[in-house]
Amino acid sequence: MNQNKTEILWREEKYNVMFYSQNHYNVIRQAMKNKASYEEISALIEQALSLTPTKGSMRNACQHMWGYFKKVATEEEKKQYEQLIQTTNFSELLTFLKGLAEKYEVTYLLESRVLKR
């Protein structure tokens, strides 16, 4: 049961952690593989979210999320994404990605905390 609870937590926080720190993302991914406890994963996530995200980490997380849409997005959506990723207006970019997640019904992303800001 506890492992399932841990997997749900990680699923919800994965892109949020990536948004703040690729290093923490990698550490937590490994900890998940090693069946770390809920408390350990929760503490690592908290640690990651206490950092100041870099433009690189924010861009990387957005690019990963965009991967869900790049094959289904319209030309207009692709153009809009390219403009937003260049301007580094991440709050607008996250809003745009959330809109796409809703439009294309990508539940996995809709459950992600990074899009619930």
Which run of H or E residues covers position 60?
Answer: helix 55-66
For the chain, what are the domain ranges? 2-49, 55-106
Q: What is the pTM of this model?
A: 0.92
pLDDT attached to residue 108: 94
CA 70, CA 104: separation in Å to the nearest integer? 11
**Mind listing the pLDDT tens digit for each residue in 5-52?**
999 999 999 999 999 999 999 999 999 999 999 999 999 999 999 999
